């Protein structure tokens, strides 16, 4: 069994991106990070994105509207960022407070600045295999992990557990694409799937993204499969100082001995998400500069 080290692969990608930023003409790429409220996970994620941007030489502009911000006020803020020529990428940190329409806010972002890849147009570009679009960072990170771990999906059966717009649907579309590293046969499973284990046992590559701690067990795995665990779940653990431990959607102790390759949690898919956000921001800057820099 080989452990797919997301930290090491992300560090390699970050080093490559740093060289790309240094070679760009004019000002540095600029990423606007909009965070509403003090959700602890969101605060941590935005801080990590700021830190990585600084490491790369990417300018980050953190905007913190009041938690009482109205839908109209937040939409106006997005409109202003869309119109600002000094901003290349816009990320609105999820989740937003419940009084705000999150999907409407995501759709408000200019598709050319939508480095989170959640806009309808960018999701459609994945289906059309249009490389000018922006792919959501976690699915893009999964594909990068597979490629850099020498996992060629061509002709393989990929089973995706989960159908979210953030991971499941886009990663299924990416694996389907008629291009190098993809070309897979893809099955998407979800809460309505019958006899789930009989399908997951057919997977050459299993991508677990359902948000249920340690749901995938050894009886669901074909020996020799590649397993990508996207889940990050908090499980009570009295032996830990925090009172909890982080675990994925896969029961790692029982599943890992059966796999040819597997991602750990933490340290697998997670580090790639931030790296791909930076990749998308740099891509947005290059596309705005014109074809000579692409």
Catalytic residue among 5, 88, 93, 249: 93
Catalytic residue among 5, 88, 114, 116: 116
Map residue 262 onto helix, strand or coil. Answer: strand
Catalytic residue among 49, 125, 169, 283: 49
Catalytic: 116?
A: yes
Evaluate the omega torsion of the peptide bond into residue 266 and state whether it is cis, within 30 degrees of 0.
yes
Catalytic: 128?
A: no
Q: Tell me how crowded residue 178 is: count the other CB atoms within 10 A of its CB.
A: 8
Residue corresponding to tokens 């050894």: 218
The encoded tokens of residue 54 equal: 């600084």
Map residue 265 onto helix, strand or coil. Answer: coil
Residues sharing a CB contact under 8 Å with residue 99, sequence separation 6 or more, in sequence order: 71
Catalytic: 93?
A: yes
Sign of the torsion angle spanned by Cα atoms 246, 250, 252, 256: negative
- Which ranges of the chain does DSSP label H, i.e. alpha helix? 6-23, 40-56, 71-83, 102-108, 120-127, 137-148, 168-176, 196-200, 252-255, 270-289
How far apart CA 231 and CA 212 sit, in angstroms, is 7
Altogether, the residues listed in the chain come to a count of: 294
3-state helix, strand, coil in the chain (%, to 5): 45, 15, 40
Return the active site residues: 49, 93, 116
């Amino acid at each position: 069994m080989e452990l797919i080290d997301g930290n090491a692969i992300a560090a390699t990608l970050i080093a490559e991106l740093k060289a790309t930023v240094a070679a760009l003409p004019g000002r540095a790429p600029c990423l606007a990070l909009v965070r509403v409220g003090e959700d602890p996970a969101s605060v941590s994620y935005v801080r990590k994105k700021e830190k990585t941007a600084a490491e790369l030489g990417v300018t980050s502009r953190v905007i913190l509207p009041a938690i009482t911000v109205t839908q109209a006020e937040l939409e106006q803020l997005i409109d202003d960022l869309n119109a600002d020529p000094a901003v290349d990428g816009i990320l609105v940190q999820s989740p937003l407070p419940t009084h705000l329409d999150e999907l409407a806010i995501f759709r408000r972002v200019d598709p050319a600045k939508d480095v989170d890849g959640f806009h309808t147009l960018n999701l459609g570009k994945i289906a059309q295999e249009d490389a000018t679009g922006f792919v959501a960072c976690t699915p893009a990170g999964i594909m990068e992990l597979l490629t850099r771990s020498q996992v060629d999906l061509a002709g393989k059966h990929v089973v995706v557990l989960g159908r979210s717009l953030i991971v499941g649907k886009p990663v299924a579309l990416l694996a389907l694409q008629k291009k190098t590293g993809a070309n897979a046969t893809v099955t998407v499973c979800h809460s309505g799937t019958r006899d789930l284990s009989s399908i997951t046992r057919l997977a050459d590559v299993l991508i677990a993204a359902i948000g249920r701690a340690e749901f995938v067990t050894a009886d669901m795995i074909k020996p020799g499969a590649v397993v990508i665990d996207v889940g990050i779940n908090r499980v009570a653990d009295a032996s830990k100082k925090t009172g909890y431990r982080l675990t994925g959607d896969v029961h790692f102790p029982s599943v890992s001995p059966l796999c040819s390759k597997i991602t750990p949690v933490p340290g697998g898919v997670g580090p790639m998400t931030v790296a791909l956000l930076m990749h998308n921001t740099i891509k947005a800057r290059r596309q705005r500069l014109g074809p000579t820099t692409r």
